[in-house]
Structure 1
C-alpha cells in the first residue's frame, strides 16, 4: 500500500521509477558518509587561512555537539543548537552582550561548511540555509577625533597588562592603516629598514608595501629585539612570554579600555576604527 502511495506521489511530481533508480545509483554509500567531526578535519584545511581562522572556533562548537553524527543526518534544528552554543559562549565572555556577532559568524561558518558538503554530494541540501541571520545594525563606525584618540591611548596605557605591546599595536594601526590581519601576519622579514616600510599581508590574500615613519620602524625593531630568538618568518608582535599574538589580543585590549571611554557605547572602539581613522585622515 505504501509503495502505491509513493508511486502515485512520484507520478504526480513527474518522477519515474527509472529516475529514482538512477538517483539512488549516484548516491554515496552510507559507509562513505563522514561524521561531522571527520568532515571538519578533512575540509577545514582547504579554506583560506583567514576564513579558517574566523570559522574554526564555531566548527569546534559543532563538533562538540554533533561530532559523531553523519553529516547527512544533521538538520536545521541541530544547526540552531550550535548557534545557541555560540551565542551563550559570547555572552559568557562578554557579559551584557546580545551575541549578535557570534550568531552571525556561526551561521556563516555552518553555511560555508555545509555548502562544501552539498557541492561534494554528501548532503542533498545544506541544513544551514534554513538559519536566520540577524539583520545588520546600522554601522556606527567613524573616524575618531584627536581628543578621542588621546583618551584611547590613555585608556590602553592604564588598563593593559602589557602596555608596551598594546600601545605599539594602536600606533601601528593608526600609522599604517593596516587591517588586523596585517598586524597578525607581520613577520620579521616584512620589516624594511632601508625603505622604512612594512609588507602587509591582509584580507582576501591582498599584499602591499606600506611606508611608515622612521620612529615607528625603530619602535618595531625595539619590540622585536625585546622578544629574543625570533627568526625571519616569525611574527613581530609577541606577548611578554614570547608568544605570537592572536585575535584574542585585540578583544582583551579593547574590552579593558572600553569602560574608560564615555563615548564607546555610541562609537565602538576596535582595530577597524583605528584603521578607519588612519585612512580618513590621509
Structure 2
C-alpha cells in the first residue's frame, strides 16, 4: 500500500463524517483548539507531582533520562521508532549488576515510564489517545526467572551448620526458621514484632 488515500477512501471518509454530523472544518477547529504541547523538561515535573510517591520512585530515574535526552523537545514530537531507540540506548547503558538481565528490565521500565507520562498528556488534552506513541511500542519480553528454591537436603545442611557453629547458634537457627517459615526477605527480622519471635521460638 502506498499510504496515500485514494478517491474511494476519501469518499468513504466524507460519507462517514457526514453521517456523524462532523465536517472537515470541525476537525481542523478541534486541532487548533488544542493547547500547545510542553517540552519534556517542562512536563516531567508536572507529571511527577501528580503521581504517587511509589510511582515517582519507580519511574523517576527514567523520566530523568528522558529529560536528559529530549528535554527541549515537545512531548508530541517523538515517534514510536524514537522511543524504541531510546529504550535500546537505556538498555545498553544500564549499570551492570550481579543479577543483570542484559538491560531488558531497564528498557521495560523506560517504556512504562513514558506510558505513564503520555497517559497524563492525553488526560491534559495535549494529544489524543490515538496519537500516544508509547502505546505503539511493545515492552521487551521478560526472561524466565533465575530464582529457584533450595533443595531440602541443602537447607538441612545449612541449618545443621548454623546450629553447630558461630557465636550464637541458637539465634542463627531461629533466624533461619523465621526465613524458612515466612519466606521473608533479609530485612524481615528487623520488622518482626516480639509476638512473632515468640511464636517461632515455641
TM-score range, shorter chain: 0.5 to 0.7
The alpha-carbon deviation at position 41 of structure 1 amounts to 0.5
Q: For 1:213, which of 181, 197, 200 is the aligned residue?
A: 197
CA distance in 1, matches of 2:115, 2:145: 24
- 1:35 matched residue in structure 2: 39
- 2:87 matched residue in structure 1: 83
Higher strand share: 1
The answer to whether the 8 A contact 1:61-1:85 is kept is no
The answer to whether the 8 A contact 1:110-1:128 is kept is yes
* TM-score between both structures, scaled by the size of structure 1: 0.48
Taking only aligned residues, the RMSD between alpha carbons, in angstroms, comes to: 4.0
Find out whether 1:94 has 2:97 as its counterpart. yes
- 2:113 matched residue in structure 1: 109
Gaps of 5+ in 1: 155-168, 197-211, 217-282
1:60-75 aligned at under 5 Å gives the runs 60-75=64-79
1:31-180 aligned at under 5 Å gives the runs 33-90=37-94, 92-94=95-97, 97-124=101-128, 125-145=131-151, 147=154, 150=158, 176-178=182-184
CA distance in 1, matches of 2:26, 2:39: 28
> 3-state SS of the aligned residue for 2:143?
coil
The alpha-carbon deviation at position 173 of structure 1 amounts to 6.1
> 3-state SS of the aligned residue for 1:74?
coil
Question: How many residues are paired up?
Answer: 169
CA distance in 2, matches of 1:179, 1:48: 25
* TM-score between both structures, scaled by the size of structure 2: 0.64
The alpha-carbon deviation at position 71 of structure 1 amounts to 0.9
Gaps of 5+ in 2: 18-22, 163-174
The alpha-carbon deviation at position 61 of structure 1 amounts to 1.0
